[in-house]
Amino acid sequence: MNTERTFRADLDRAAEEYLTLNNLKPRGSPYMNIKAVILFTLFICSLLVTLFVSIWFEPLVGFFIAGIGFNIGHDASHYSFSEKLWVNKTLVLFFDWSGVSSTLWEAQHVKEHHEHVNDEKDPDIHQNPFFRLSLHQPRRWWHRFQAWYAIPLYTFSHFSWSLAGDMNSYRKKKVRYRKVSFTPYKHLVFWLGKTFFIFTFIVLPFFFYPPLQAIQGFFLFIGTSGLVTTLIFQPAHAVSGSEFTTAATEPDKWKRQVRETTNFASGNNVTGKVVCWILGGLNHQIEHHLFTLYSHHHYPALAPIVKKICEKHNVPYKSLSFWRAIVSHFKHLNEMGKK
């Protein structure tokens, strides 16, 4: 019996029953549209307040730009925000405005990460030379301190990605092992995105504040967005006890996705639903990796269904509280720095 087909078939059957029973579609809903309006409004308001009231509101801009990335850009990049292709392709351009190339994000996250979760080709766990996240990676002497310097470096992750990482990948036309093809349209989007990002978040504040305050504000903004984003994504795959398997050790692709992923503050309860609303379902990473074409608002309802099927197939389903996930991530950094 093909266990991969059986496990995947059980998941698909149960998900389809859930949709049919509740008369729902996998992608697109008034819920998602209303949420997008709310988040974009909060983002624009925070930006205006920062420009016209006080530069010290910049962390709010960083928080809401991360929130739109979680809730709208992320779903759109997986073509799961809307049933309409043009809506997804339009909304994903927010990544470019926020400084992250949507073309390179698709190559790194949608294709490479989701295809190679926690294996040697996964770009998300290859953070050398600064971090060692797997026993398969070389250990340097400074990695013993990585749990201590992680927070300062995480605050620079957005800055590094948007102004250094993207430029390096664009120059090479490659994200780790995957070649990236840039059409004339994608070239235009890349450079317009960088231009809008630099003008909106770096240049524009200089028209309203003294240079020193404008610079301080920019780093408050980009530090907040970087820290929030990293602390939400990292606990999904890099906590104490995380598995770093390969097709050789676990041939079933879908079981491998579950084994190498951890939920936090998840479930079909008040906490799970509220955190899902704030984080765009990134607290339900298991459900996301199994149902990338489903809008994230389905994840809380799918969680108990997926958990039951995992128990049936003897696949460990890991879920932690939010704070336990954060603590476990730093415990993992400490372990990988010493082993």
**DSSP three-state, residue 136:** coil
% of the chain surpassing 70 pLDDT:
97
Better-predicted residue by pLDDT, 249 or 311: 311
**Beta strand segments in the chain, E:** 174-175, 178-179, 262-264, 318-320
User: Rounded to two decimals, what is the model's pTM?
Assistant: 0.91
The pLDDT tens digits for 10-50 are 999 999 999 999 999 999 889 899 999 999 999 999 999 99
In Å, what is the CA distance from 124 to each residue of 114, 235, 248, 295?
10, 12, 20, 22
Q: Which residue(s) pair with 175 in the sheet?
A: 178
Annotate 213-242 with DSSP letters as a single string.
HHHHHHHHHHHHHHHHHHHHHGGGT-STT-
Q: Residue 20 contacts by C-beta under 8 Å, 6 or more apart in sequence?
A: none
Q: What is the pLDDT of residue 245?
A: 66
Label residue 138 by pLDDT band (50, 70, 90).
Answer: confident
Dmax (CA) for the chain in angstroms is 69
Better-predicted residue by pLDDT, 12 or 237: 12
Label residue 250 by pLDDT band (50, 70, 90).
Answer: low
Q: What is the pLDDT of residue 280?
A: 92
If 0-12 CB within 10 Å is exposed, 13-18 middle and 19+ buried, where does residue 25 land?
Answer: exposed
Question: Which of 3-12, 141-150, 225-234 shows the lowest mean pLDDT across its residues?
Answer: 3-12
Question: Which of 27-36, 132-141, 201-210, 217-226 shows the lowest mean pLDDT across its residues?
Answer: 132-141
Residue 328 per-residue DSSP state = H
CA–CA distance, 101 with 97 (Å, rounded to integer): 8
Residue 157's identity, in one-letter code, is S
> What number of other Cβ atoms are within 10 A of residue 49's Cβ?
14
Chain mean position to CA 171: 24
Q: Residue 211 contacts by C-beta under 8 Å, 6 or more apart in sequence?
A: none
Kind of pairing between the strands at 262-264 and 178-179: unpaired
Q: Which residue(s) pair with 320 in the sheet?
A: 264
CA–CA distance, 1 with 140 (Å, rounded to integer): 44
* Mean pLDDT calculated for residue range 144-157: 93
Label residue 222 by pLDDT band (50, 70, 90).
Answer: very high
The pLDDT tens digits for 68-118 are 999 999 999 999 999 999 999 999 999 999 999 999 999 888 888 888 787
Q: Would you say residue 294 has pLDDT above 90? A: yes
Q: Would you say residue 212 has pLDDT above 90? A: yes
% of the chain surpassing 90 pLDDT:
69
Q: Would you say residue 339 has pLDDT above 80? A: no
